[in-house]
Structure 1
């Protein structure tokens, strides 16, 4: 009887140690994944070449709107920045029958990068066809990003989404 109790005690001790060892490795794996993601995001920020995909927006004085489709984007590049984002809010000098969204293509100017402990802020101005857009990205190291767009002809609007590496022709295939 004593032998059975002793064997059960030894087995339970070994099982507990193996469970603790597995839990620690899960935490380590999670920390490694987070560190890898942070390095990828920092590389995107340093290259100043990334794609912002909008998932939510908040117009000035409005409430949060979830965007159902992953088709709203801003391709940020130092050579050419393009955007196709929805707009809900007040337009001041927007012509009747014109496109309601924020769509532009241009070269960003006055790019300023400010790195902080938990995020990075990128500010830039892009002159589009009919307007000048002031962009302010707040990029967190998990990939989550806030984008503020101010322009002369529209009220400010705020987007939430994620940044990722641009898709090249090799990635599309």
Structure 2
């Protein structure tokens, strides 16, 4: 009986040590996702400059553009979970489905919503000044991503997750 008590007592001390709060949480999938998001948003400054030859600091917080930060974030999360816990678990399945939905939405629904906004802005700009809608503030038209932007974001997310693995 003493032997069983000692074993239980020893394992409970190990479990309580692992539950001690650390100063910096080491959740690699979460850190990978946030790092991929930050890198993608930062890279948009340079891709915008390359394409438009102007610095636009608003790109740090806006959606749309190259690479897709949405894709980078969810891909980094899914890949980091897959590397840490394996690809056979439910958590990886949820992360993978979430990544697929987000990337599909970014290159489908949000891309087309942005194109519709661009067209509506052109129509409103063509209205005569006396029309009640002629002074309406333009809609944001940089909402979604092209498939290339989504792929670039996904590649960035994979790279970040791979480099962050423990």
| TM-score normalised by structure 2 residue count | 0.33
Relative contact order, CA 8 A, sep 6+: which one is greater?
A: 2
More helix by share: 2
